[in-house]
Amino acid sequence: MPIPYKPKTILAILVIAVVIPIISYFFFLQMEHLIHTDLYNYGLSYSNNWADLYQLYAYLYLILQTSSWFFFSGSIVSFLFFNAKKTNQRRSTCVLLLALGTISSTLNFLVFFQLDSLVNYDLYLYGLQFSIEWYSNYLITLRIMFLLTGLLGVFALAAAILFYSSTREKKRLPARLFDTILIGIGTALLSLSIIYSSSILALIGLGLLFWGVIFTYVTTSEYVKKSIFDTTLRAYQKTLNQIVQKIEYGGDTIYLPPQFFNTANTYKAYISKDKRKKIPTARMMPKQRPDFLIARITTPRAVLVTPPGVELVQLFEKTLEKDFITTSLQDLQHYLPKVLIDELEVASYFDMEIENDFIHVKIDDSHFRIPEADTELSRLYFYFDSPLICAIACIFAKATGIPVTIVKLKTESKDEIVAVDYRILKTES
């Protein structure tokens, strides 16, 4: 899965990672005030035994938190230098600083466990009396510090992964690596929450598991505005229609299967000079190179054109990981809604019914331009206005190995549903 390089996003995450230790420090000062001031009002007696132990934990917390702050601040400087001049050394320095910051901030979890054990067990040996007043303040402060430390590790890890994977020479990462990391960390924190009976660890672990599972089933997609999409396709369709109109070929448009040609994935629309009298066969097609104008086809004279939507057929096959030449029409009733609605989201509704040689298709809310039913152009031309309709005709031709034509198109404006009738043409032996 390619990961695009987005410097603004990475910089924003790094700034958050620098701000979190500062916020956490203010809550640490509240913890200091609570233990060294408030708890004496609830029977706590001073002793070097517990005071020295608490001071050790406080120093460890400050050292680790300050180290994290310096590491993350240094990573911002390294990132800005890298953004100015991209070198492997600057990238490695930034990633290393992020890794060291993540490790130092994660070690604070151990300090929190020891600090919590001191307050909830040791201080009662020195006269501390339990009260919901001081305990609720202590618990809220500890949980906030715990949560901030967990968020700091997550943001730092996310920044390191995004930065490294989007800037290395081969910009590819195993599609589920980040999801697996989130699930692994979440599972580890849940296990620790059971061992230490910590609701904070349980909440963080469940959160990471939740997002890991969500990212596993939600993939990154790239979107283009529909107006731009229609504009880029319109020029080719307009040119194709004008050419066919100028040479005055009035026969039906017949979509030929790739089996008619020696070249794989060759899709052609066959248009005769006059009204169709004879269905084209594979023997009538050029074997080496299907030219645009086929001058030697005499019964009848005709042209072969590449219809709009050919690339869509190949995209559908790639998405489904299937070759339509090996599928049946009945299989397409299952595959086409899956690729159009679920996978590529180019339509909100698709229905396909098979009736002898006719295939009735209904499409709703398509992102491709669908021609209006009351167009003044002949049906030959306005069928070419929709790449999706042409692509479906090519798919039917490839699946059956038989030429296909469009016999009717109707737009139900009330429901915005387009109904298209395709016909499978039996060729003469």
Parallel/antiparallel/unpaired status of strands 268-272 and 293-294 = unpaired
Q: Is the dihedral of CA 18, 21, 24, 30 positive or negative?
A: negative
Q: Which long-range contacts (CB under 8 A, 24 or more apart) does 153-158 make?
A: 153/102, 153/105, 153/106, 154/208, 155/13, 155/16, 155/17, 155/20, 156/17, 156/72, 156/98, 156/101, 156/102, 156/105, 157/98, 157/102, 157/181, 157/185, 158/13
10 Å CB burial of residue 58 (0-12, 13-18, 19+) is middle
pLDDT of residue 298: 46
Going across the sheet that includes 358-364, the strands are 293-294, 302-305, 268-272, 253-256, 404-412, 417-424, 358-364, 349-355
The distance of Cα 7 from the centroid of its chain, to the nearest Å, equals 19
Cα distance between residue 420 and residue 347, in whole Å? 15
pTM higher than 0.75: no
Q: How far apart are CA 332 and CA 374, in angstroms?
A: 30
pLDDT at position 106 is 81
Strand partners, 424: 404
Structure tokens at 229: 């999409």
* 151 neighbors 13 (Cβ within 8 angstroms): no
User: What's the confidence (pLDDT) of residue 395?
Assistant: 92
Tell me the per-residue pLDDT of 150-206, one tens digit each, with 9 for 90 and over. Answer: 888 888 888 887 787 777 654 444 545 566 776 777 787 777 777 666 666 677 777
Describe the crossing of helices 132-167 and 88-106 by its angle, rounded to 10 degrees.
160
Q: Which of 110, 115, 104, 121 is nearest to 141 (CA)?
A: 115
pLDDT of amino acid 358? 92
Instruction: Give the up-direction half-sphere exposure of residue 189: CA atoms within 13 A in the CB hemisphere.
Output: 25
In which residue ranges of the chain is pLDDT below 50? Answer: 1-2, 170-173, 175, 228, 293, 295-300, 373-382, 429
The residues, ordered by sequence, that sit 6+ positions from 106 with a Cβ below 8 Å of its Cβ are: 149, 153
Separation of alpha carbons 297 and 219, rounded Å: 49
Joined together, the tokens standing for residue 312 give 């869509």
The pLDDT assigned to 231 comes to 53
CB atoms within 10 A of CB 56: 13
> How far, in Å, CA of 92 to CA of 88, rounded?
6
Task: Report pLDDT for 250.
Answer: 64
User: Are 10 and 57 spatial neighbours (Cβ–Cβ below 8 Å)?
Assistant: no
Q: What are φ and ψ of residue 248, in 5° steps?
A: 55, 50
What is the pLDDT, as a whole number, of residue 153?
81
Please list, in sequence order, all residues whose beta carbon lies within 8 angstroms of the beta carbon of residue 260, skipping any fewer than 6 positions away: 266, 268, 280, 281, 282, 285
Evaluate whether 399 touches 330 at the Cβ level (below 8 Å): no
The pLDDT score that the predictor gives to residue 150 is: 82
d(CA 238, CA 232): 11
Give the DSSP letter string of 173-213: --TTHHHHHHHHHHHHHHHHHHHHT-HHHHHHHHHHHHHHH
Residue ranges covered by each domain of the chain: 7-168, 174-220, 226-424
